[in-house]
Chains A and B, each alone.
Chain A
Amino acid sequence: MSRELLKVSGLSMRFGGLLAVNGVALTVKEKQVVSMIGPNGAGKTTVFNCLTGFYKPSAGSIVLDGESIEGLPGHEIARKGVVRTFQNVRLFKDMTAVENLLIAQHRHLNTNFLSGLFKTPSFRKSERDALDYAAYWLDKVNLTEFANRPAGTLAYGQQRRLEIARCMMTRPRILMLDEPAAGLNPKETEDLKALISILRNEHNATVLLIEHDMKLVMSISDHIVVINQGTPLADGTPEQIRDNPEVIKAYLGEA
């Protein structure tokens, strides 16, 4: 039994009179792929926003590896190793692919003003290592030939892959992917599935996933959490979820 990396309990988020998320609980163990599914508007992305510090949750606790992180600002949570992608791709569009990857390594680099000004050996080494690490991941996501192209000019599927690679540059403990397969064709979805498996098996990544593509979800998830109208509906392995009548009802409506 592996360690619990992220434990969320009783998470609620209220916008004025609207209770968007109500008592959501989920547990992510090391090297697991956990998916969060639910109909549109169920509050999945709101949960993501709470977990990554973009919203301050109204109630509940978020514990990352024994450390409480709820209410911290977004960049501090990211520094603790919870890194996300966005439903609509958010790359630095005018910058090249490799620059996108360098920015993500910002906090691992030598940011000393004077050493950068005089290009000290330690600064050069830090920059060179960053570039090598970026090259390594560009190769992993098959984007090496586009390294010096502005990110905005890449094809949509390539942008998605670049965004995932950019997250991996921060050496995350939990990678949170918000609908990574949205807008991808079946071939690209297969590639994405392979990429997520590589991340987990070769790079020990723990993944929390929001996704609508059920084929993808069922094939790669270790655990699935279903949310409906902000409240948790079901929680279990893919097989349990597939056969759960409540889930079927929420998705298809009552007969």
Chain B
Amino acid sequence: MTRNLKSALFSALLVWAVAYPVLGLKLTIVGINIEVHNTSPMILSVIAICSLLMFVRVLFNQQLSTAWKNSPSLPKVPAKATNFLTLPSTQRWIILGLVVVALVWPFYGSRGAVDIATLILIYVMLGLGLNIVVGLAGLLDLGYVGFYAVGAYTYALLSHYFGWSFWVCLPLAGMMTATFGLLLGFPVLRLRGDYLAIVTLGFGEIIRLFLRNLTDITGGPNGISNIPKPTLFGLSFDRTAAEGMQTFHEYFGIAYNSINKVIFLYLIALVLVLLVLFVINRLLRMPIGRAWEALREDEIACRALGLNPTVIKLSAFTLGATFAGFAGSFFAARQGLVTPESFTFLESAIILAIVVLGGMGSQLGVILAAVVMILLPEMMREFSEYRMLLFGALMVLMMIWRPQGLLPMQRPHLELRK
């Protein structure tokens, strides 16, 4: 009991220590100075109540946990349903259904909704790409955003200096990031796990700092603006076309509507995602896809069977990076502006969270997780400053509820001929 009392007191103090500086103190601007004031007594009393609750909770930990056990638990997904949902064939049908919905709904959705959907599609692309490196090949990459940045800046720079169009730059950006993937792959071949994570983390930061300080070329912290949007076979979606170009609404003789541009961008993103999905789906059933997974399971056994780990790792890095390059150059085209601050470590963390949350290696999982990860913060905007707190809490809850991810992948069932 005394030990419980001690830890209960400590927990109550901890609540104060965490909550008071964050919620109990308010910064107010007085003239040119910032002064620290106490907030309303209401918030202070809320903190007090919370700490009291924490005190009781820790003091009666044992009694509470037995009571908790007797109370009805969280609804568990029945085992059969889980099994059915994770079957590869079911997942394929769900993906097909999602694609049909995704094709139809922008014509009914609002402009803001289509815009968010486009953002989700970018993250689906990134998630699917990182899934190759982390989920399949088992190489923990914390600097994935570096490739995303390389892709974005490739298009931004090429269009800024040479005026090349999006459609020319898209494959070039893919090739450029593939090269970077290969370059990063070589020095890290011998590394695994935590060490690899640290090196890739450094890589992501190096790319960002490089872009930031190369002011003469990349515009430094200001980035590059006025990046042209993609065109449909030379038809632009702007109100007035540039010299020698035609606009979409003029060509088809319809009234100008800015939502056309948003829908067009959305459809490009959708096509890119479908392309990536198709390629990854095939890769999984190809020898190289199996080799990635084998490498994740046991590198030594791979070598003993005559598989060259160098080639396998480099191919995973290169292909994963290529998809980030596509996503990056599309991102640049959509925003019309790239700055180094779009490519911070937080982005890498979010993409990694999408992969882990979805269930390593699972494509449907990645898609769902991307929807959840992007949609939730958008939907919680009304909670304003507590948005990220709620977001974090939700992620913790989700990992407790389904530690293996939302929809993990099952092994494909191979039919043997007798």
A binds B: yes
In the complex, besides A75-B302, A95-B290, A98-B414, 10 extra interface pairs with C-beta distance below 8 angstroms are A52-B304, A75-B306, A84-B304, A90-B300, A94-B297, A99-B290, A107-B307, A116-B287, A131-B416, A147-B416
The 8 A CB mask of A72-84 against B (1 = contact, 0 = none) is: 0111101100011
Knowing A98-B416, A111-B286, A111-B287, the reply to whether A83 touches B301 (Cβ < 8 A) is: no
Interchain nearest-CB distance for A132 vs B (Å)? 6
Q: How far is the CA of A54 from the CA of B308 in the complex (A)?
A: 13
Interchain nearest-CB distance for B310 vs A (Å)? 9
For chain B, the count of residues having a C-beta within 8 Å of the partner chain is 30
- Which residues in chain B, 380-418, are within 8 Å of chain A measured between CB atoms? 411-414, 416-418
Q: Is A55 an interface residue (CB 8 A)?
A: no
Closest to A128 in B: B417
Interchain nearest-CB distance for A169 vs B (Å)? 8
Q: How far is the CA of A74 from the CA of B298 in the complex (A)?
A: 14
Closest to A119 in B: B282
Q: How far is the CA of A132 from the CA of B417 in the complex (A)?
A: 7
Q: Are A79 and B414 interface neighbours, CB within 8 A? A: no
Q: Is B269 an interface residue (CB 8 A)?
A: no
Knowing A106-B287, A117-B282, A135-B416, the reply to whether A75 touches B293 (Cβ < 8 A) is: no
Q: How far is the CA of A121 from the CA of B304 in the complex (A)?
A: 30
A106 surroundings in chain B (CB, below 8 A) = 287, 290-291, 305-307
Of B297, B308, B414, which contacts A147 at CB under 8 A? B414
Q: Is A122 an interface residue (CB 8 A)?
A: no
Q: How far is the CA of A54 from the CA of B302 in the complex (A)?
A: 12
The 8 A CB mask of A39-76 against B (1 = contact, 0 = none) is: 00000000000001110000000000000000001111
- For B283, B293, B416, the residue with the greatest tally of chain A CB atoms inside 10 Å of its CB is B416
Closest to B286 in A: A116
Q: Are A170 and B293 interface neighbours, CB within 8 A? A: no
Q: Are B416 and A74 interface neighbours, CB within 8 A? A: no
B293 surroundings in chain A (CB, below 8 A) = 92, 94-95, 99
Q: Is A138 an interface residue (CB 8 A)?
A: yes
The 8 A CB mask of B324-353 against A (1 = contact, 0 = none) is: 000000000000000000000000000000
Q: How far is the CA of A78 from the CA of B308 in the complex (A)?
A: 10
Q: Is B192 an interface residue (CB 8 A)?
A: no
Q: Is A144 an interface residue (CB 8 A)?
A: yes
Q: Are B307 and A102 interface neighbours, CB within 8 A? A: no
Q: How far is the CA of A109 from the CA of B291 in the complex (A)?
A: 12
Knowing A92-B297, A111-B288, A135-B416, the reply to whether A150 touches B411 (Cβ < 8 A) is: yes
A166 surroundings in chain B (CB, below 8 A) = 305
Q: How far is the CA of A83 from the CA of B306 in the complex (A)?
A: 8
Q: Are A83 and B287 interface neighbours, CB within 8 A? A: no
A90 surroundings in chain B (CB, below 8 A) = 298, 300-301, 304
Of A79, A86, A110, A147, which contacts B306 at CB under 8 A? A79
Closest to B288 in A: A111
Knowing A95-B294, A96-B414, the reply to whether A78 touches B287 (Cβ < 8 A) is: no
Q: Are A78 and B305 interface neighbours, CB within 8 A? A: yes
Q: How far is the CA of A106 from the CA of B292 in the complex (A)?
A: 11
Of A52, A73, A119, A135, which contacts B417 at CB under 8 A? A135
Q: Is A91 an interface residue (CB 8 A)?
A: yes
B287 surroundings in chain A (CB, below 8 A) = 102-103, 106, 109-111, 116
Q: Are B411 and A83 interface neighbours, CB within 8 A? A: no
Q: Are A170 and B416 interface neighbours, CB within 8 A? A: no
Knowing A90-B298, A94-B297, A119-B282, the reply to whether A99 touches B414 (Cβ < 8 A) is: yes
Closest to B306 in A: A78
Q: How far is the CA of A92 from the CA of B418 in the complex (A)?
A: 25
Q: How far is the CA of A149 from the CA of B417 in the complex (A)?
A: 17
Knowing A78-B303, A92-B294, A150-B411, the reply to whether A116 touches B308 (Cβ < 8 A) is: no
Q: How far is the CA of A138 from the CA of B283 in the complex (A)?
A: 25
Q: Are A144 and B416 interface neighbours, CB within 8 A? A: yes
Closest to A53 in B: B303
Q: Is A7 an interface residue (CB 8 A)?
A: no
Q: How far is the CA of A133 from the CA of B69 in the complex (A)?
A: 52
- Which residues in chain B, 268-318, are within 8 Å of chain A measured between CB atoms? 279, 282-283, 285-288, 290-291, 293-294, 297-298, 300-309
Interchain nearest-CB distance for A147 vs B (Å)? 6
A116 surroundings in chain B (CB, below 8 A) = 282-283, 285-288
Q: Is A9 an interface residue (CB 8 A)?
A: no
Q: Is A113 an interface residue (CB 8 A)?
A: yes
A170 surroundings in chain B (CB, below 8 A) = 305-306
Closest to B315 in A: A113
Q: How far is the CA of A74 from the CA of B304 in the complex (A)?
A: 6
Q: Is A250 an interface residue (CB 8 A)?
A: no
Q: How far is the CA of A131 from the CA of B285 in the complex (A)?
A: 12
A212 surroundings in chain B (CB, below 8 A) = none
Closest to A102 in B: B290
Q: Is A104 an interface residue (CB 8 A)?
A: yes
Interchain nearest-CB distance for B2 vs A (Å)? 46
